[in-house]
Amino acid sequence: MKVLAGDIGGTNARLALVDDGRILFEKIYPSKDFRDFSSLLHHFFEETNIPLPHRACFGVAGVVSDGKAVGTNLAWKIDGSVIKQRFGFEKVILINDFAAAALGVLQLGPEWFEQIGRGEPVKGYNKAVLGPGTGLGEAVLIALEKERYHVVATEGGHCDFAPNSPEEVELLIFLKEKYGHVSYERVISGPGLADLYTFCTEQYDEDQLESSNPAKISKAALEGNSRAAEKALEIFCSVLGSEAGNLALKSLARGGVYIAGGIAPKIVNFLKKSPFRQSFEAKGRMRDLLKSIPTYVVMNKDLGLLGAAAKALE
């Protein structure tokens, strides 16, 4: 059955027609080019001229409750029942974007996972999924019988950032002066990397790049063209490892921790050499447990779409 799947983020909105786990085609739009989600859907159907699928599921970067979604980094309010009636779908489901990403993990084979460090997954245990992009998404797959899972969305990315070194204490002070409340999302996200870079240029007394967006910062770090950019990305990876370990402990994710989102696949080789895994395991008396839990970078960019499509077919 063909379904319409969506991955609606603060930066981009992706819509795709999916059939039996295969993406037939997709369109990507800058989210802020549209005043609301209905306008985006109208544009999509006018542009593609596809027949209306019976079912649709949209993963939205924000809190989803009672069939309604409110974007965190995008000023959209989406009501699934309104979308269903306005466009004539038989079924419309709204889920958190990282709940969709977590369901997407279940659709992929091992060839899509790049392991960082040691550890082996244990059958019958929970899995955790998190990833930096425009924000920081987190979700948990609760293990059921017969290798089935129930997905639980969270807003764990907004929990308080806890520094683990004198340098990170200084970073916390730096970010607190700017934002007041400092969450993990303020550090491990695209905007977070930009703030990390500014922090590091001040620490190293280095002139900033002419264009200091996250992509340029990552490129400068990977090419070794800026010590401040390299240090910013190193801190980014370390804090990502620390929060991945936190989520693993809170969910007892012996089935594995999966790093998704748009940033991690692009820096996977840097991640392997970074303090990511060291920070993941540095949990005091729980160190041996964390050593046994594997961590993976998900290398499939369509994760959210595949998960949303699977949810539409439930």
Q: Which pLDDT value is given to residue 146?
A: 87
Q: Which pLDDT value is given to residue 130?
A: 97
Q: What is the bridge-based pairing of β-strands 91-96 and 55-60?
A: parallel
Which 8-state DSSP code applies to residue 209? P
The residue written with tokens 């369109």 in the block is 27
- Give CATH superfamily name and number for 2-99+303-312: ATPase, nucleotide binding domain (3.30.420.40)
Handedness of CA 272, 273, 274, 277 (dihedral sign): positive
In the chain, domain spans: 2-99+303-312, 118-293
User: Helix, strand, coil % (nearest 5) of the chain?
Assistant: 45, 25, 30
Handedness of CA 172, 174, 177, 180 (dihedral sign): negative
Q: Which pLDDT value is given to residue 208?
A: 83
What are the backbone angles phi and psi of residue 291, rounded to the nearest 5°?
-60, -30
Q: Which pLDDT value is given to residue 211?
A: 72
Amino acid of residue 152: V
Spatial neighbors of 82 by CB under 8 A, at least 6 apart, are 38
* Separation CA 291–CA 87 (nearest Å): 50
8 A C-beta contact, residue 102 and residue 141:
yes
Of 3, 7, 1, the C-alpha closest to 301 is 7
Span 245-273, pLDDT tens digits: 999 999 999 999 999 988 999 999 999 99
Q: What is the bridge-based pairing of β-strands 127-132 and 136-143?
A: antiparallel
Q: Which pLDDT value is given to residue 71?
A: 86
**What separation in angstroms does the CA of 179 have from each of 27, 189, 240, 292, 302?**
34, 15, 20, 36, 32
Helix (H) or strand (E) holding 104: helix 97-105
8 A C-beta contact, residue 119 and residue 292:
yes
* Separation CA 91–CA 168 (nearest Å): 47
8 A C-beta contact, residue 72 and residue 63:
yes
Span 181-225, pLDDT tens digits: 999 999 999 999 999 999 999 888 888 887 778 999 999 999 998
SS3 assignment, position 38: helix
- pTM for the predicted model, two decimal places: 0.94
List beta partners, residue 78. Answer: 69
Assigned CATH class of 118-293: alpha beta
List beta partners, residue 23. Answer: 18
> Helices 227-251 and 214-222: crossing angle, nearest 10°?
110
Given a cut of 50, the residues of the chain with pLDDT beneath it are: none
Task: Tell me how long the chain is.
Answer: 314
Which 8-state DSSP code applies to residue 206? -
C-alpha angle with apex 15: 12 to 21, nearest 5 degrees? 125
